[in-house]
């Protein structure tokens, strides 16, 4: 089932004895976990038991699930990180008794709700246990949303917060935050706090408040190069260092931005429209829009020269010929001068 389908069932108090939540979207995992806690333990909050299966064996978890709750009501047992479902399980100082889990899944008790949470991109679906979980439990698919679904989720989250977003903000947020729903929610909550209930978020407010990402900082670096502002470029680089961004990775981000500007410029010379460029390059409309606003600042020859300088700096860093930080600062100096 999808996240939304399982969430609706839980809200209607249609509770199953065993749940299996898998996928790497932390927002979905957190929401379902909190909803299960709220619905199952509203009268008995002391009946919550949480285990990490990298530290506790599954047989201990099952033993707890089969132990009648001391305070009455139902117990909620949450067990995360079932490494035994991976294709290559991590080595642990103890063994999981998977037969004990299989027996429990086939015949769960009625006074405990067991929730297994696998926050992994993939599990080994060929395993007997994986098939048993998918056929005998309520399975919640918590995989990241697709690019095509981001706008819908932004609208849903904004509606929940009772705020209205200007049209341009959708492109900005999609480009900056991509499909990370937890980050989307946090940034939209920040905007909602700023404008208040029923407030309208303008593009100026969004640009001022949305936390900078490495992608947005790469765009600002490009702007600094265009403005020939070395002080601004170095300042942005220092901010990125604080975000633990590696200089080699930053060269990759800059290369992507300048390569996009070059490709857009070449397509524009061929008479392509913005929509045709988007289709040809397979990039987000906002990315094309930004590149189109920058391409007239450079000649084709200048952009090709920048790509060569970026490649040279990348090679110098990877070969260890110079300290990475110094090499990146010299690159910025070179690009701007």
pLDDT in tens, 188-226: 999 999 999 899 998 888 877 876 666 666 777 878 888
- Sketch the domain layout of the chain as residue ranges: 3-141, 147-209, 214-336
- Output the CA torsion sign for 182, 186, 188, 192: positive
Query: HSE of 248 in the Cβ direction (CA atoms, 13 Å)?
Result: 10
Instruction: At 114, give phi and psi (nearest 5°).
Output: -105, 130
pLDDT of residue 14: 93
Task: Report DSSP state, residue 109.
Answer: -
Percent of the chain whose predicted confidence (pLDDT) is above 90: 46
The most distant pair of C-alpha atoms in the chain lies apart, rounded to whole Å, by 76
Q: Is the pLDDT of residue 48 over 70?
A: yes
Q: What is the mean pLDDT of residues 300-313?
A: 91
Q: What is the pLDDT of residues 124-139, one digit of tens each?
A: 889 999 999 999 999 9
Percent of the chain whose predicted confidence (pLDDT) is above 70: 96
* 3-class DSSP string for 244-270: CCCHHHHHHHHHHHHHHHHHHHHHHHC
Q: Is the pLDDT of residue 7 over 70?
A: yes
pLDDT of residue 55: 94
SS3 101: helix
Q: CATH 2.40.50.140: does it fit domain 147-209?
A: no
Contacts of 231 (CB under 8 A, 6+ apart): none
CATH topology of domain 3-141: Rossmann fold (3.40.50)
Identify whether the C-beta of residue 118 lies closer than 8 Å to the C-beta of residue 85: yes
211 closest CA partner among 193, 188, 244, 233: 188
Specify the pTM: 0.66
Q: What is the pLDDT of residues 254-281, one digit of tens each?
A: 888 899 999 999 999 999 998 899 888 8
The pLDDT mean for the chain works out to 88
SS3 45: helix
pLDDT of residue 90: 83
Name the CATH architecture for the domain at 214-336.
Answer: Up-down Bundle (1.20)
Q: What is the pLDDT of residues 136-150, one digit of tens each?
A: 999 999 988 887 788
Q: What is the mean pLDDT of residues 104-120?
A: 94
pLDDT of residue 241: 79
Q: Is the pLDDT of residue 174 over 90?
A: no
Instruction: At 225, give phi and psi (nearest 5°).
Output: -65, -45
pLDDT of residue 56: 95
Least confident of 75-89, 184-198, 215-229, 308-322: 215-229
């Amino acid at each position: 089932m999808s996240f939304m389908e399982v969430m609706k069932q839980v809200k209607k108090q249609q509770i199953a004895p065993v749940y299996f939540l898998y996928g790497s979207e932390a927002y979905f995992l957190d929401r379902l976990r909190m909803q299960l806690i709220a619905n199952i333990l509203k009268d008995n909050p002391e009946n919550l038991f949480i285990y990490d299966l990298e530290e506790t064996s599954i047989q201990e978890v099952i033993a707890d699930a089969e132990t009648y709750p001391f305070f009455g009501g139902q117990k909620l047992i949450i067990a995360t990180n079932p490494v035994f479902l991976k294709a290559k399980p991590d080595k642990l100082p103890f063994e999981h008794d998977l037969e004990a889990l299989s027996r429990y899944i086939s015949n769960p008790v009625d006074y405990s709700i067991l929730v297994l949470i696998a926050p992994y991109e993939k599990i080994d679906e060929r395993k007997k246990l994986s098939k048993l979980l998918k056929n005998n439990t309520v399975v919640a698919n918590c995989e990241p949303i697709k690019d095509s679904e981001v706008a819908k989720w932004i609208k849903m989250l904004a509606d929940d917060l009772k705020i209205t977003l200007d049209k341009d903000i959708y492109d900005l947020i999609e480009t900056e935050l991509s499909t990370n729903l937890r980050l989307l929610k946090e940034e939209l909550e920040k905007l909602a706090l700023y404008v208040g209930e029923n407030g309208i978020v303008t593009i100026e407010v969004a640009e001022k408040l949305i936390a900078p990402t490495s992608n947005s900082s790469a765009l600002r670096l490009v702007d600094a190069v265009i403005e020939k502002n070395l002080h601004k470029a170095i300042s942005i680089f220092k901010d990125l260092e604080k975000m633990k961004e590696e200089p080699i990775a930053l060269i990759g981000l800059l290369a992507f931005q300048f390569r996009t500007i070059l490709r857009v410029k070449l397509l524009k010379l061929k008479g392509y429209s913005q929509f045709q460029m988007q289709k040809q390059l397979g990039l987000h409309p906002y990315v094309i829009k930004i590149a189109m606003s920058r391409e007239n600042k450079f000649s084709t020859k200048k952009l090709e020269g920048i790509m060569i300088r970026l490649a040279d700096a990348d090679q110098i860093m990877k070969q260890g010929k110079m300290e990475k930080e110094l090499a990146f600062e010299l690159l910025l100096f070179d690009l701007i001068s």
